[in-house]
Structure 1
């Protein structure tokens, strides 16, 4: 993967807490509404199986990555399962190095300027700013002052009302959780209808400019 994929597609849809049997229809719905970047968090039941099956099913159409990767061992497992990109919630330097040694795109989670610079200097391709919603869009603008060279992915608290503001503030892409995909098992028809509408609206908002 390249950073251009994130600049183009803008939305990383975070999948957490869903059932394996619902995954294919959820992914297909997201695909039909223009979403091309999916993060499956490793604290989701059967996450590695889901990454493996969905990365093969949607090969060449979507990029499936692994999130909540806490250790180098978890990174190795995710990459072996087929993850095209890996996200860490914190600045774990050894995990970043493990991902990059494998030739895989790495997004490291950070918050303070020191953490952000540390992650980037140790090889992170993008830096996930979490919790972005709590910090606010002005925080992203402020970071661009001393750290304009570091591409960011605000995550946490991103919704339909503030997504375009974060992009306008200089974010490369956005990590979006329950504002698109509800973390629940046993999706029903109305859940898929809601998912489709949320994905469509998010895509429109993030690609209207």
Structure 2
């Protein structure tokens, strides 16, 4: 798929479900529930045992190019530490790559294959380096408060920022208002469902996040 189109779809959908589970089957079910609730951008982290199996399964079921809303989703990979892992995930069907830190070799690999890559950054220096490497969206991780984006946008107004960690239903609107192009949601999306042993609860939580993002963008 065209890299620019993928990035645009991620930005349009705005909420990325960052999913971790005990195994590939559990995380795939988490993804199914997230998609059913309206979060259509899914990040399967490589900390999940057999994560590539989950990515392959989901990529085979969903498409980022379909006009069928029931089959539309963008499947990506997270917690990527090196280019070897990124390449394996891409071959399994991942359409974007996310890392906890900035690894130039991983960025180069993704750029070579025209796959969006979102490395984790914390400082102005890291963000500038990411931009110079050709990164389109940086992952602010760990995120602190929405005011951090304003501080970053001072010297680097051209940076596209996606905070991950610290984003909740109560502050997602504040992050968007501050200039975030998208947000990553982790345990706040899945914790209650896992605790109660009912993954179907994720769909309801996902619907709340999708609605909150839409409301924030409409302001």
What's the TM-score once normalised by structure 1's chain length? Answer: 0.91
Q: Aligned match of 1:199 in 174, 195, 206? A: 206
Matched ranges for 1:15-164 at <5 A: 15-60=19-64, 61-132=72-143, 135-164=144-173
Distance 1:183 1:48, change over 3 A: farther
| Offset, 1:56 | 0.9
- Residues 1:178 and 2:182 aligned together: no
Distance 1:184 1:77, change over 3 A: farther
| Offset, 1:57 | 1.0
- CA distance in structure 1 between the aligned counterparts of 2:86 and 2:11, rounded to whole angstroms: 24
Structure 2: state its 5+ residue gaps: 65-71
Secondary structure of 1:191's match?
coil
Secondary structure of 2:119's match?
strand
| Offset, 1:22 | 3.1
CA contact (8 A) 1:64 1:84 kept: yes
| Offset, 1:140 | 0.8
| Offset, 1:123 | 1.5
**Equivalenced residues, count:** 205
Structure 1: state its 5+ residue gaps: none
What's the TM-score once normalised by structure 2's chain length? Answer: 0.87
- CA distance in structure 2 between the aligned counterparts of 1:207 and 1:99, rounded to whole angstroms: 30
Secondary structure of 1:40's match?
strand
CA contact (8 A) 1:156 1:177 kept: yes
| Offset, 1:72 | 1.0
